[in-house]
Homo-oligomer: A and B are copies of this chain.
């Protein structure tokens, strides 16, 4: 049933929507008009920027299982309560904890000079006194994988692959294996340590940290990333033909398991409270920046979206659930444990998405809808297109955390942000508030509120994906 009261309240003027045949019309003309109005209001007045400012200034780094993480959970809970959610609660998750120690790296020979490096996530410590060894260079992780162990044994394996800058971030896939798999391979081949060129697109003297697979690796070797200029430096030395010897030290520490939390806020559905649209982001961040782009911006965008929806005279038909996932950075831990804990309720999730790609403008609308429901996406595009958003594909899992739900058959969508500079800052100390343009945040919220409203308000649901159990 059309919510006429709400439509009348918001509607200022009739907007020119394309006519759809009745059997395609998942969304009514009036629903689209309300969504357009919400979009325009958000574009003008939303203030997600203040939320990410608050999070980065008052909390800052919030690595899973740290005091910063505890403060972030408290911040999110209090903030959601103040913003007008109907229900705010946390769900505990279990995380591996780790402490980054001081790291030091330098070229010992033939041209002694210091290097800027950082430990990859959960890297082992070096022995006291560090590791001094010759570098062996590999073009990519596959080259290390194919290497004769004799060429690597006792040496420091150096994977030196550059990442390509793109708007979509698709340059990430071909390089991230160096970080995620390199340490295991280096360990198995008897290397003394792994060093990689940072997975990033900048040419600044920041090393990019990030997660690697470490469970089940016996006696893992230390694993470091060099900043791009430092990788260039080592590369230039190697090109001169003499052996290059470096020294690294890192006093990292594994701390055992501990708790973290998913923080959840809900606007209870007006008619179908047990049917849910999930909009998410992750609350945790890497430890060296203040997690502004990754993922303070996303946290702020979905919180502000819900705050504005909460100001409507009536709740949308379905429940809108904001989930601020914990421990995304260390392996989608919050999402995985959420899906496990709620596996019997997944068919009640109408759709899921998350904002986790920085603070650039949304430029594309991707979906992971059942094939028969793409008419809905086309209708949604009528409201999104005026924001400069184009229709993308139907292959999206929604984002990292959403993909865990999507794999279980939950329809997903993605408001794809322009990530051209996202990997300049990703997982570095330089991920700070000043990288966010408040105007871009307004455009994001405008897109989010339109999409969220329509999915929460539409007559029928999408059903589940054929990949469902």
Report which A residues bind B (CB closer than 8 A): 53, 56-61, 67-68, 102, 111-114, 116, 203-206, 228-229, 232-233, 236-237, 240, 289-290, 428-430, 432-435
The answer to whether A434 and B61 touch (CB under 8 A), given A113-B68, A116-B429, is no
Q: With the chains together, A229 CA to B57 CA distance in Å?
A: 11
Kindly report which residue of chain B lies nearest to residue A104, judged by CB atoms. B102
Kindly report which residue of chain B lies nearest to residue A61, judged by CB atoms. B113
Q: With the chains together, A116 CA to B60 CA distance in Å?
A: 13
Sorted from nearest, which 10 A-B pairs have the closest CB atoms? A60-B113, A229-B432, A203-B434, A205-B430, A57-B236, A205-B429, A58-B111, A229-B434, A204-B430, A232-B434
Chain B: minimal CB distance from A124 (Å): 22
Chain B: minimal CB distance from A72 (Å): 11
Q: With the chains together, A233 CA to B60 CA distance in Å?
A: 10
User: Please, which residues of chain B bring their CB within 8 A of the CB of A240?
Assistant: 57
Kindly report which residue of chain B lies nearest to residue A206, judged by CB atoms. B205
Q: With the chains together, A205 CA to B60 CA distance in Å?
A: 14
User: Please, which residues of chain B bring their CB within 8 A of the CB of A67?
Assistant: 112
Contact of A53 among B229, B236, B432, B433 (CB under 8 A): B236
Chain B: minimal CB distance from A242 (Å): 11
User: Please, which residues of chain B bring their CB within 8 A of the CB of A435?
Assistant: 203
Identify 26 residue pairs between A and B in the complex whose beta-carbon atoms are under 8 Å apart, listed by A's number. Answer: A53-B236, A56-B233, A57-B111, A57-B233, A57-B240, A58-B111, A59-B111, A59-B113, A60-B112, A60-B233, A61-B113, A61-B114, A67-B112, A68-B113, A113-B290, A116-B429, A203-B434, A204-B204, A204-B430, A205-B428, A205-B429, A205-B430, A205-B432, A228-B434, A232-B433, A232-B434
User: Please, which residues of chain B bring their CB within 8 A of the CB of A114?
Assistant: 60-61
Contact of A57 among B59, B204, B205, B237 (CB under 8 A): B237
User: Please, which residues of chain B bring their CB within 8 A of the CB of A59?
Assistant: 111, 113
Extra inter-chain contacts (17) besides given A58-B111, A229-B434, CB under 8 Å: A57-B237, A60-B111, A60-B233, A61-B113, A61-B114, A102-B102, A116-B429, A205-B206, A205-B289, A205-B429, A205-B430, A205-B432, A229-B430, A232-B432, A232-B434, A233-B290, A233-B432
Chain B: minimal CB distance from A61 (Å): 6
Chain B: minimal CB distance from A336 (Å): 28
User: Please, which residues of chain B bring their CB within 8 A of the CB of A237?
Assistant: 57
User: Please, which residues of chain B bring their CB within 8 A of the CB of A56?
Assistant: 233
Q: With the chains together, A391 CA to B225 CA distance in Å?
A: 47
Kindly report which residue of chain B lies nearest to residue A234, judged by CB atoms. B57
Chain B: minimal CB distance from A456 (Å): 34
User: Please, which residues of chain B bring their CB within 8 A of the CB of A113?
Assistant: 59-61, 68, 290
Q: With the chains together, A113 CA to B285 CA distance in Å?
A: 13
Q: With the chains together, A240 CA to B57 CA distance in Å?
A: 10
User: Please, which residues of chain B bring their CB within 8 A of the CB of A57?
Assistant: 111, 233, 236-237, 240
User: Please, which residues of chain B bring their CB within 8 A of the CB of A432?
Assistant: 205, 229, 232-233
Chain B: minimal CB distance from A441 (Å): 17
Kindly report which residue of chain B lies nearest to residue A111, judged by CB atoms. B58
User: Please, which residues of chain B bring their CB within 8 A of the CB of A430?
Assistant: 204-205, 229
Kindly report which residue of chain B lies nearest to residue A107, judged by CB atoms. B60
Q: With the chains together, A245 CA to B111 CA distance in Å?
A: 42
Name, among A68, A237, A432, the residue most crowded by chain B CB atoms within 10 Å (CB to CB): A432
Name, among A67, A68, A430, the residue most crowded by chain B CB atoms within 10 Å (CB to CB): A430
Chain B: minimal CB distance from A114 (Å): 7
User: Please, which residues of chain B bring their CB within 8 A of the CB of A111?
Assistant: 57-60
User: Please, which residues of chain B bring their CB within 8 A of the CB of A68?
Assistant: 113
User: Please, which residues of chain B bring their CB within 8 A of the CB of A102?
Assistant: 102
Asked if residues B229 and A433 are in contact (CB atoms below 8 Å), the reply is yes
Chain B: minimal CB distance from A337 (Å): 27
Kindly report which residue of chain B lies nearest to residue A116, judged by CB atoms. B429
Name, among A58, A67, A428, the residue most crowded by chain B CB atoms within 10 Å (CB to CB): A58
